[in-house]
Chain A
Amino acid sequence: MNKDQSVQDMTDTMAKFTSYIGKRLPNDVKDKLAELRTFETNPLAKAVYTSMAENQEAADKLDRPSCQDTGVIQYFIKAGARFPLLGELEEILRHATEGATRMGPLRHNAVETFEEKNTGTNTGTNIPWLDWEIVPDDDGATIDVYMAGGGCTLPGKATVLMPGQGYEGVTDFVFDVITSRGINACPPLLVGVGVSTSAETAARLSKRAILREVGSSNANENAAKMEKLLEEGLNEVGIGPQGLTGANSVMGVNIESSARHPSTIGVAVSTGCWAHRRGKIRFNADLSYEIISHKGAVL
């Protein structure tokens, strides 16, 4: 296959995949919502879960984006240093976003800042947003695509705590965000927490945290313990679907972390709404691919 053809093929696949994940939730989210639904006794909470299930069925059947806010498109790339299209990936993902916008169709969600004009293509300055990790000695690429909707992006917050505030301060921060702005962000939420050294490193990790599977745990024992404690504690608050009160508040809490400066604790929260639209796809060097997030998906 010549390079132009390869670029075209991968662009088509990513356009289709980007469009696909706006219509069907990933397996882990779907399973968790089905589980949470069974715990509800409050009539309003039950009614909302019924609407949610009907909506996902209709979206699948009618082949339409399940939520009208198909977000700003973000790609989180973990590319092997020897992936043959490494240099072309940015262009591929930009064209894939344009393709998905026509195909979905996706809502036009890229407004040029300061000019304050909607571009109408979902592409713009640095949009789609790309986040890169390069893996040495690998020739494949794993791409997470995420639709960053407005509602679930609004609660996002980062700060830098003093060490005296400790992980106790992290706890306060997470609860404050979720019980204030989180209520309007279409709960039950998947809560991502970044614990790191500065505001922007924590923010990036908090977003990476919501790309991790619902129900997975941080490899560090203390971090995993804190994930569980925060999840149980937030569920005790009983925010329920859409903030209407209920048996639970969240789909889970995922923490990602880095080492930190001894004088700082950077902490950030990102939230995924119940309609947490993300997908994970792995390409091999020959561009054969496997869809990891949606079992049995056919593009």
Chain B
Amino acid sequence: MTKKILSTPIKDEDLEDLNVGDVVYLTGHLVTCRDVAHRRLIELKQELPVDVRGGAIFHAGPIVRKKEDGKFEMVSIGPTTSMRMEKFERQFIAETGVKLIVGKGGMGPETTAGCKENKAVHAIFPGGCAVLAATLVEEIERAEWQDLGMPETLWVNRVREFGPLIISIDTKGNNLIEQNKAIFNEKKTSAIDRIKSQVRFIK
């Protein structure tokens, strides 16, 4: 099976055929963007210092080392819990024109709506696999909003075949983790009932 590779800038038509559960890789630019950057853009109305139109953001706060020549080295960069950005993401997509959001775990109905309205996708990179990810970063080209500290700085990474990225929200309104949650909730009822009948320790 050949690898499906997305390249920045990403166009709407690159995303239209993608379905939840598909695996893709990214070549181009991937900008870290998490809690405070979202809050600054949406609530504090500050302009994002990096143009991510047609681009990709990564919900991630990496470990970065400053080298002797003044350049930054990516040591370890894995995804953070995307759900924390649910509050802001729909508006973030609309305002920035971002096309690919990479993170961990699912996001909610607002992001799903935002992805449908503006043709964007959310993808899961396996959580905790941060050294694997760091080896796929070719260079940190820029670092913006460094006043936020290491985890929250916007690190502009040039990446090559960055993945696996598992599409969890597609452009058609499908949400993989929400679908999975429905399955989990269905299965848990019978398990809970069986356990309860065996833990009546208070008699």
Contact surface of A with B, Cβ cutoff 8 Å:
44, 47-48, 51-52, 54-55, 58-59, 62, 64-70, 104-109, 111, 117-118, 120, 150-151, 154, 163, 166-168, 170-172, 175, 179-180, 183-186, 222, 225-226, 229-230, 232-234, 236-239, 241-245, 273-275
Contact = CB atoms under 8 A, between A and B. Distances in A.
B200 interface: yes
16 contacts: A44-B23, A47-B166, A55-B128, A55-B131, A59-B131, A62-B131, A67-B129, A107-B63, A166-B201, A179-B184, A179-B188, A230-B195, A233-B188, A238-B183, A242-B127, A244-B166
Interface in B95-154: 104-106, 124, 126-132, 134-135, 148-152
B188 A274 contact: no
B55 interface: no
A105 B72 CA distance: 13
A236 B187 contact: yes
A67 B78 contact: yes
Given A184-B105, A244-B166, A105 B75 contact: yes
A84 B128 CA distance: 38
B9 interface: no
A56 B62 CA distance: 17
Count class of interface residues, chain B = 35 or more
Interface string B70-89: 00000111101111000000
Nearest to B187: A237
B202 interface: yes
A151 B63 contact: no
B180 A65 contact: no
Contact of A154 (B60, B62, B81, B202): B81
A166 B200 CA distance: 7
A186 B106 CA distance: 11
Interface of B: 21, 23, 60-63, 65, 75-78, 80-83, 104-106, 124, 126-132, 134-135, 148-152, 164, 166, 176-177, 180-181, 183-185, 187-188, 190-192, 194-196, 198-202
B72 to A, nearest CB: 12
Nearest first, the 10 A-B pairs at minimum CB distance are A184-B105, A118-B149, A233-B191, A275-B128, A55-B129, A167-B199, A186-B127, A68-B130, A68-B76, A55-B132
Q: Is the interface of B mostly helix, strand, loop or mixed?
A: mixed
Nearest to A109: B151
A107 B150 CA distance: 7
Contacts of A108: 149-151
Contact of A241 (B75, B126, B192, B198): B126
A180 B183 CA distance: 12
B149 A120 contact: yes
Given A105-B65, A243-B180, 20 more contacts: A55-B131, A59-B76, A65-B130, A68-B62, A68-B76, A70-B63, A104-B63, A108-B151, A167-B199, A171-B196, A179-B184, A183-B105, A184-B105, A185-B105, A225-B198, A236-B190, A236-B191, A237-B191, A241-B126, A274-B128
Given A67-B128, A67-B130, A225-B198, A44 B181 contact: no
A118 B164 CA distance: 31
